[in-house]
Homo-oligomer: A and B are copies of this chain.
């Protein structure tokens, strides 16, 4: 809901100069691929797309055949928030939802989930991939060590790993790690790299860390209506996003606001923080009637539904963006404090 960062808009305006090759043949799109390679410290294949849902669905379709199965958290975006997009793009691969603390999967949860399927049997959907979110849908992050353990388990079972990085910048900022540490160095195969939620207008990408995994992906993207004729405008956003570390500055700012919010709310006895705040989101269980009062006072937020409904319908999600100010946070905390 936040506006785009002025530097991103300025870059779009600069890009609007004269003729350029269409459909990704433009100079900016080529430069962006190099820029991603620098940021991830290795050659990568990058495909710009329009939405995070498309990035996830297309990436997953590349990692599993239609008769395959992809394991995901039961609260993951691909399970509950993309209207079945993973099944759509993958031509009906099965998504197996799995429970896990605070939005995270673990080797144990994978082992347990796979236990219900006989991998040797032609009757069973064939497990082919795991899809995880970083940061997760619960606002938590996997540490590099957690990711390595998870991916090692996946690898041993022959599963590829997809990462939904709609909030990847927030995870990098939260962990103060290299982007590589929570992607290919931990054995992630494909990353949905989101920039829209962190200051861009429309800027998403699918990143493959092994060029062989990207084979034929260009056809999938085109066929799905995700190859943009004026690709230069997507590319320009990424160029500005990476310029001088803007992306991490914005993410750190959003994370810091979430910490301020979490700290403030944590000191209030009549609300309960549902998950540890680690990135730019805070989940709070409110007492009955408070959501209505907060909204009446002008606050805007989403009521949040989780599988199993741990907070009996009283969970809300609070998201901080690059544009969130300390004043807004303090105002909101004060509203909650008053009840």
* Chain A residues within 8 Å of B, Cβ to Cβ: 1-4, 6, 9, 12-13, 16-23, 49-58, 65-69, 74-75, 79-85, 87-97, 112-113, 115-118, 122-126, 196-197, 201-202, 216, 218-220, 222-230, 233, 300, 305-309, 323
Cβ–Cβ contact A90 & B92, under 8 A: yes
Closest to A200 in B: B230
Closest to A49 in B: B225
Q: Determine how many copies of this chain the complex contains.
A: 4
Docked complex Cα distance between A50 and B225 (Å): 8
| Shortest beta-carbon distance from A226 to chain B in Å | 7
Given contacts A92-B84, A94-B95, A216-B67, contact A1 B16 (CB under 8 A): no
**Secondary structure of the A side of the interface?**
loop
Cβ–Cβ contact A309 & B115, under 8 A: yes
Which chain B residues lie closer than 8 Å to A112 at the CB level?
308-309
Given contacts A50-B226, A97-B96, contact A122 B219 (CB under 8 A): yes
Cβ–Cβ contact A91 & B94, under 8 A: no
Which chain B residues lie closer than 8 Å to A202 at the CB level?
50, 202, 228, 230, 233
When A and B form their complex, which 6 residue pairs have the shortest distance between CB atoms, in order from nearest?
Answer: A54-B225, A116-B307, A87-B92, A53-B225, A67-B219, A50-B50
